[in-house]
Chains A and B, each alone.
Chain A
Amino acid sequence: MAKLFLFGIGGTGSRVIRSLTMLLAAGVDLPNCDRVVPIIIDPDAHNGDMNRTVQLLQSYQQIYKRLGPREEGFFKTDISTLSGISQDVNGSVKDTFIFDFGGINQSFRQYLSYDGLSVDSKGLVDLLFTQDNLESPLTIGFRGSPNVGSIVLNKLVESPEMRFFADNFQDGDRIFFVSSIFGGTGAAGFPLMLKNLKDTNTRLSNARYLRDAPTGAVTVMPYFALQSEDNAVIDSNNFLTKTKAALSYYEHNLQGLDALYYLADTPDTPYENQPGGTQQKNKAHVIELLAALSIVDFMRYSPAELRTGGPHFHEYGLQADAPEIQFSHLPDESREIIAKQLTQFLYFTRYHKQHLPTDKAPYADNLKLDYAMRNEPIFRELNTFLHSQDSGVDQWLQELAQNRRSFRPFDLQTDDFNAMILGKPVEKKWNDFFNKGLSHNYLLDNLNKTEKSIQEPDSFRKMLELFYDVTDKAFEEKVKVV
């Protein structure tokens, strides 16, 4: 039962975990690992990105629970909350993907008990923090201020969650951090967390396992800009400065890291400037997808490979500097990992929306889909996962396509399965009257055919397996390569 503990720090952490969840839902293989335990560390309990990621994770979890472990398929990898990995004796760890900050609804000044400090200490605090830092409430995070974050997050290691995490850490488990370098929470949190976990004098249990655990991190460097507003708390013009400062710190202070992935892009469209709260809900970006890919990449290395000659540093380059990235613009390695899986998942998603509710076919009858889709919670859960306006797969692909730089491997407007992969339409031979490529008929026929051969009493499991097999066959027969 090798686990991957995935710390997603700050808004970027949430967004990367969202992308990873999508990849796992698509059936992307995550080797050397049976279970992913995402821990989102964000003091901003109302962060929009975080909330929809959590929603997505919960959906995924529900679906996985029903499906169970399999050789291959959609939702192949288990995703679990921290408390889900073991029975918590104290009950102090909540069953959630979010690290519980215990409701810090006070200002930084209150958090430091500034007023009770000695004059000397007050002077030091005044030196390190601006008045604005001191007055800002911690409920919306650190608002791009690593200096604030580092203080608050340093306390995390004493939390029951961290103890629980350490108690259940086993040999072979891995740790991965996702953070942005230019923000507040991430930039401050990642080195702190790393330092505390790898600390030789730590009071955490399983310290040796923790110290020896293969550990990786992806650090996202600036890839977006914020609309400049005169009185805004976060100024994206500072991003580069902050990045430089952080990098110079990372250069000497990331002990115990086996692999570090750097990702960056030149900013294009400025995001709406929302320092935090429910309004901070940014469109999914390809950089997050690539960050999620870095997790997959990390997991593909064996522990031995990671330990020799480490730490390993990775950067990412596209095949071409295209404003709209299609599969052909990805390097071969990435394409091999995600192209087929995403295509299959898209076919499933589209079919699920477009045809499944109206299909009057043997497979649908045998699965009792008509009834199940309307009444069974798990089918509704899947519907939410795929089509939720907020956090669904549709929406995610839509966002990726709309963002700059956009990841647009699919034509999301078309109903024609043949034309769904941009730049790679399914070939239809002019002389083959009956071969309509990936027609509804083709898929339906294969659904009916395959349904007969699957021995699975549970209709939900059967449906997922069925669609995985059929989309797999469709890809192999009709698309072949992208």
Chain B
Amino acid sequence: MRYLTSFSRLWPALGLSLALLPGCYSRSDMKTEAGTATGTPTAVPPAEVPAAVSPNTATPTEAANSTQPLQAVNVFLEVSGSMEGFMPKTGASGENTKFQQHVAQFLSEVNRTATVRQKAFYRIKEKPYEDSYQGISSTVRSGIQQPAKSTDIPSVLDTLMSNYYQPGTVSVLISDFIYSPKNAGAIPYIKTDITDALSRSGSHPELGVSVYGYTSDFRGTYYPALKAAGKKTNCCDTEIPYYIWVLGPADAVRRFDAALLEQQPAKQAHFGVTYLRPHYSLLNKFQNKGSWYYGDAGASKQTADAYRVVAVSEASAQQPVEFVVGIDLSRLPGQYRDVAYLKQNLKLQGVDTDATLLDVMAATDQTKASSGPESKFTHFAKVRLTRQPKAARPLVLRLQDQRPAWVAQWTTKNDATPASKTFALSSLLDGLAPSQEGGARQIFELPLTLQPGE
């Protein structure tokens, strides 16, 4: 038995070695280590690569209480004569216009939404008149009973800014935005008038405005901006544009947009609205080429999906390095998700590198179905470089804010002939974006770091 016992002494050792076999290090360990080291890894770039952090981080963090509902929404419906054509009295045939259809539904959604605590509805004549949801809804459905005189856009904006601009509160203005200056000489000052109107009650650096453009069939009298052209009755054969403007503190506007307007097939333009930096990450196994790897500390953790550092082992013209940055743009307005827009406006800026943005792609069914981290991203930016960096260098993907092309297309200088264009729209919108002197505003900045592989 002595030998048997001496043999049985082996079992603990054997068990220990079996337990050790899977290995001491695991990716989850790494994750814990890295997690405690760098705090919230999703929003904050790794502390180890300060060069990657853009100094221009106007981007709000996730800390914003996005789960809290907005304080209030004030919906203003213009009911001047020029709007009558959108909201004709219900005919015998029971037909209605697209406007009626759309706006009634929009109002209903606003009324029902949980995104906002308090909802108020106003009809705009010479000044806002409070109405109930039922009241305003029935106005939309059954037509304007007593059309007001044409309203003056700057004064409406002034009113909204003076009386309704509150933190956590947005104003929604539904109008055709046909702005008739007093005389032809005032036309060049439309922009200034708008800017003035917005800032008359004081400076609002937080102000954000989203403009959504729609068109609707129009049955009624058409009042062009240039009164000299004369009104057209029994208009029109073409669809006439109308707009929903959302004004308020940039953050509130963004959230309101996301909750209620994002889904709608509309032309859109945004002014002063800020967005959270989208979630993004390098992808090391998606269309990657050449010798590079994640240079992030703790890069081996499996589920981080927030890689920022490209470590290039070697790169040459013959063997270029290509890497893809996955970006989740799902929380940005559709304007910025458009691949054509991105291709044009997503810029790569680096120091001491020949890295170029090769392509921007939207997610495909294939990437969405993938089991890899690429499934989490809506867009992909592919970068190529042929020179190994000498040391850690910042590399930034930056999306420029660009006035969308539809604004120009929907703008006319002469609206005497009814068309799907609006008089001086560009100028109006120019007035919303007064502070762009310093170049194009940027929607987001995605800092990355290039470094030589060790």
Direct contact, A vs B (beta carbon within 8 Å): yes
Let me know if B3 is at the binding interface, CB within 8 A: yes
Closest to B1 in A: A432
Q: How far is the CA of A432 from the CA of B1 in the complex (A)?
A: 7
Interface majority SS (helix, strand, loop, mixed), chain B: helix
Residues of A within 8 A of B1 (CB): 432
Once the chains are docked, how many angstroms separate the CA of A434 from the CA of B8? 13
* A432 vs B3: C-alpha distance when bound (angstroms): 9
Bitwise, A433-467 to B at CB < 8 A (1) or not (0) is 11100000000000000000000000000000000
Q: Does B4 contact A (CB under 8 A)?
A: yes
Chain B proximity of A73: nearest CB distance (Å): 29
In Å, the complex CA distance between A434 and B3 comes to: 6
**Which residues of B are found within 8 Å of A434, using beta-carbon distances?**
3-4
Q: How far is the CB of A436 from chain B (nearest CB, A)?
A: 11
Cα A397 to Cα B4 in complex, Å, equals 39
Whole-angstrom distance from the CB of A439 to the nearest CB of chain B?
A: 13
Can you list, as one digit per residue, whether each of B1-24 has a CB less than 8 Å from chain A (1) or not (0)? Answer: 101100000000000000000000
A435 to B1, CA, bound (A): 9
Closest Cβ of chain A: how far from B10's Cβ, in Å?
Answer: 14
> Across the interface, which residues of A come within 8 angstroms of B4, CB to CB?
433-434
Chain A 282-297: CB-based contact to B (< 8 A → 1; otherwise 0):
0000000000000000
In whole angstroms, how far apart are the Cα atoms of A399 and B4 in the complex?
Answer: 44
Q: How far is the CB of A65 from chain B (nearest CB, A)?
A: 42
Residues of A near B3 (CB, < 8 A) are 432-435
Residues of B within 8 A of A432 (CB): 1, 3
A465, chain B: closest CB distance, angstroms: 27
CB of A53 to closest CB in B, whole Å:
47
Contacts of A435 in B (CB 8 A): 3
Which range contains the number of B residues in contact with the other chain?
A: under 10
A106 to chain B, nearest CB (A): 72
- The CA of A432 and the CA of B2, in the complex, are separated in Å by 9
A435 to B4, CA, bound (A): 10
Q: How far is the CB of B6 from chain A (nearest CB, A)?
A: 9
Cα distance A433–B1 in the bound complex, in angstroms: 9
A112 to B425, CA, bound (A): 166
**Chain B residues positioned under 8 Å from A433 (CB to CB):** 3-4
Q: Which residue of A lies closest to B6 (CB)?
A: A434
Bound-state Cα–Cα, A418 to B339, Å: 91
Q: Who on chain B is nearest to A434 by CB?
A: B3
What's the least CB distance linking A430 to chain B, in Å?
A: 13
Cα distance, A21 to B3, chains bound together (Å): 41
Closest Cβ of chain B to A477, distance in Å, is 12
A236–B1 Cα distance when bound, in Å, is 61
Min CB gap B299→A, angstroms:
51
In whole angstroms, how far apart are the Cα atoms of A434 and B4 in the complex?
A: 8
Closest to A435 in B: B3
CB distance from A297 to the nearest CB of B (A): 41
> CB within 8 Å of B: which of A389-444?
432-435
How many Å lie between the Cα of A90 and that of B4 in the bound state?
Answer: 70
**How long is the Cα–Cα vector from A434 to B1 in the complex, in angstroms?**
8
Q: Provide the bound-state CA to CA distance between A434 and B6, in Å.
A: 11
CB distance from A441 to the nearest CB of B (A): 11
A229 → chain B, closest Cβ, in Å? 63
- Least Cβ–Cβ distance between A295 and chain B, in angstroms: 43
> What's the nearest-Cβ distance from chain A to residue B149, in Å?
112
- CA of A386 to CA of B4 in the docked complex: distance in angstroms? 38
Interface residues of B in 1-54 (CB under 8 A from A): 1, 3-4
Chain A nearest Cβ from B314, distance in angstroms: 53
Query: In the complex, A426 Cα to B122 Cα: how many Å?
Result: 114
Bound: A281/B3 CA distance, A: 51
Nearest Cβ distance between residue B210 and chain A, in whole angstroms?
86
B369 smallest CB distance to A (angstroms): 60
Question: A231 to B116, alpha carbons, bound, how many Å?
Answer: 147
State the Cβ distance, A446 to closest chain B Cβ, in Å. Answer: 15
From residue B263, how far is it (CB to closest CB) to chain A in Å?
79
A405 to chain B, nearest CB (A): 43
> What string of 1s and 0s marks CB contacts (under 8 Å) between B329-344 and chain A?
0000000000000000
Q: Shortest beta-carbon distance, A111 to chain B, in Å? A: 72
Bound together, the chains give a CA A223 to CA B241 distance in angstroms of 146
Q: How far is the CA of A433 from the CA of B4 in the complex (A)?
A: 9
A11→B406 CA distance, assembly (Å): 138
Closest CB in chain B relative to A23 CB, distance in Å: 36
Distance between Cα atoms of A432 and B4 in the complex (Å): 9
- What is the distance, in angstroms, from B3's C-beta to the closest C-beta of chain A? 4
B3 to A, closest residue via Cβ: A434
Distance to closest chain A CB from B220 (angstroms):
108
Shortest beta-carbon distance from A231 to chain B in Å: 69
Minimal beta-carbon separation of A478 from chain B (angstroms) = 14
C-alpha spacing A435/B3, complex, angstroms: 8
From B7, which residue of chain A is reached at the shortest CB distance? A434
With CB as the reference atom, state the residue of chain B lying closest to A429: B1
A435 to B6, CA, bound (A): 13
Which chain A residues in 31-60 approach chain B with CB under 8 Å? none
**In the complex, what's the smallest C-beta–C-beta distance from B75 to chain A, in angstroms?**
92
CA distance A434 to B7 in the complex (A): 11
Q: How far is the CB of A130 from chain B (nearest CB, A)?
A: 74
With both chains docked as a complex, state the minimum distance between the C-beta of A433 and any C-beta of chain B, in angstroms: 8
Chain A to chain B: the 7 pairs with minimum beta-carbon distance, closest first: A434-B3, A435-B3, A432-B1, A434-B4, A432-B3, A433-B3, A433-B4
Chain A interface (Cβ < 8 Å from any Cβ of B) = 432-435
Q: What are 6 inter-chain pairs, A to B, with CB distance below 8 A?
A: A432-B1, A433-B3, A433-B4, A434-B3, A434-B4, A435-B3
